Amino acid sequence: MSNECKKCLLYEAGEKVTSGEIEAYINTLPQDIKADNDTFLNRISFCKRCDYLISGMCRKCGCYVEVRARIKSNNCPDVNNRKW
């Protein structure tokens, strides 16, 4: 049995290929739809403490949290207990 923590972001989980692909995708997004860096970091800080986070993905909606948090029009998918 592995004792690895899965409550982390992709790059922290050692998923470097996927993390790089996600980062490359985010870099292709138009600047006007991206949340500013402070908003992004605030959102990610909530995601990192959320029980639905596992290996960079939200178990509530299936998204990669770095992508969801980077798009300014998005909200936390936990409609009953929104964190951001």
Residue 1 — pLDDT band, cuts 50, 70, 90?
A: very low
Of 80 and 10, more confident? 80
pLDDT at 10 over 80: no
- CA geometry: angle 22, 81, 84, nearest 5 deg: 50
**Predicted confidence (pLDDT) per residue in 11-56, tens digit:** 666 666 578 889 999 999 999 999 999 999 999 999 999 999 988 8
Task: Output the CA–CA distances (angstroms, integers) from residue 9 to 39, 46, 48, 54, 60, in the order listed.
Answer: 17, 12, 7, 8, 15
What are the domain boundaries of the chain?
Answer: 16-70
